[in-house]
């Protein structure tokens, strides 16, 4: 009886008018965004979030997208950051991906790389985020190599015969998609022979792949 009364009370507290306003605003916001009327879409999504207090992930993500489309970088970043802890992996991944794009535009390459990595970690099926991560990672690795050529003192030591043998073994493991084993092999080898660090870029990529593929 107590639970029945609680259910009836909850039903009485629901405002049918508010639900209707929410649904109408969501529909109008989607239509405006799809048609490219981002000004109207922003108005509707802000109405949903600010006036009606709607905190649904989908609404907030679309609000972030609308800020993105209207070049309001500050509010876009703030909105996306509010979603990086979402329980919805697709939303969390997309929010991190968008943060990566915005940080990349700002020239914050390391931050962008971390964002793309987080996006792939959240949802391995996010192909766009994976592509962005791999492209930016390659670009930063190439820049690092160029910087090392300009500054020979930062050049890693030449690999010993042991280090070369270890690298060949790691390559064989990678070919079998055994990234974790390859990562462990190189990491432990570096403790025995510092010249293994000649392959530091390779080891960093292994660490990244191992982290991304680690079960959640």
What percentage of the chain exceeds 70 in pLDDT?
88
What the block records as the tokens of 204 is: 């960093």
CA 103 to chain centroid: 12
199/4: higher pLDDT: 199
51 inside domain: no
Q: 215 — phi, psi (to 5°)?
A: -55, 140
pTM for the complete prediction? 0.67
124 inside domain: no
- Of 11-25, 36-50, 58-72, the one with minimum mean pLDDT is 11-25
111 inside domain: no
5-31 average pLDDT score: 74
Expressed in percent and rounded to 5, the helix, strand and coil fractions of the chain are 80, 0, 20
Residue-range definition of the domain harbouring residue 208:
156-216
- Total number of domains constituting the chain: 1
- Of 35-39, 51-55, 72-76, the one with minimum mean pLDDT is 51-55
63-77 average pLDDT score: 98
Identify which of 60, 57, 65, 141 has the alpha carbon closest to the alpha carbon of residue 97. Answer: 65
Residues contacting residue 69 through CB under 8 Å, at least 6 positions apart: 33, 38, 41
**CA separation (Å) from 85 to 118, 121, 129?**
11, 13, 17
Tally the residues of the chain.
216
pLDDT of residue 207: 85
pLDDT of residue 74: 97
The per-residue DSSP string of 33-62 comes to HHTT-HHHHHHHHHIIIIIS----HHHHHH
127 inside domain: no
The answer, yes or no, to whether residue 205 has pLDDT greater than 80, is yes
186-208 average pLDDT score: 89
132 inside domain: no
196 inside domain: yes
pLDDT of residue 11: 46
192 inside domain: yes
168/149: higher pLDDT: 168
150 inside domain: no
Task: Say how far apart CA 87 and CA 98 lie, in whole Å.
Answer: 17
pLDDT of residue 110: 95
Q: Which residue has the tokens 């207090």?
A: 53
The answer, yes or no, to whether residue 109 has pLDDT greater than 90, is yes
pLDDT of residue 9: 47
The per-residue DSSP string of 75-128 comes to HHHHHHHTTTT-S-HHHHHHHHHHHHHHHHHTT-HHHHHHHHHHHHHH-TT-HH
């Amino acid at each position: 009886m107590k639970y029945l009364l609680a259910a009836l009370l909850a039903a009485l507290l629901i405002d049918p008018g508010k639900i209707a306003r929410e649904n109408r605003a969501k529909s109008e916001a989607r239509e405006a965004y799809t048609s490219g009327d981002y000004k109207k879409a922003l108005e509707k999504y802000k109405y949903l979030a600010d006036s009606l207090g709607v905190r649904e992930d989908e609404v907030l993500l679309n609000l972030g997208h609308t800020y993105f489309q209207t070049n309001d970088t500050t509010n876009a970043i703030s909105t996306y950051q509010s979603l990086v802890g979402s329980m919805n992996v697709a939303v969390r991944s997309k929010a991190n991906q968008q943060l990566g794009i915005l940080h990349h535009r700002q020239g914050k390459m390391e931050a962008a790389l971390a964002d793309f990595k987080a996006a792939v970690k959240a949802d391995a099926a996010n192909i766009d985020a994976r592509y962005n991560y791999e492209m930016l990672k390659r670009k930063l690795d190439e820049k690092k190599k160029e910087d090392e050529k300009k500054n020979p003192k930062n050049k890693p030591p030449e690999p010993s015969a042991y280090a070369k043998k270890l690298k060949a073994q790691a390559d064989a493991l990678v070919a079998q998609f055994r990234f974790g084993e390859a990562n462990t092999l190189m990491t432990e080898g570096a403790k025995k022979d510092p010249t293994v660090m000649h392959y530091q870029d390779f080891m960093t990529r292994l660490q990244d792949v191992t982290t991304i593929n680690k079960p959640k």
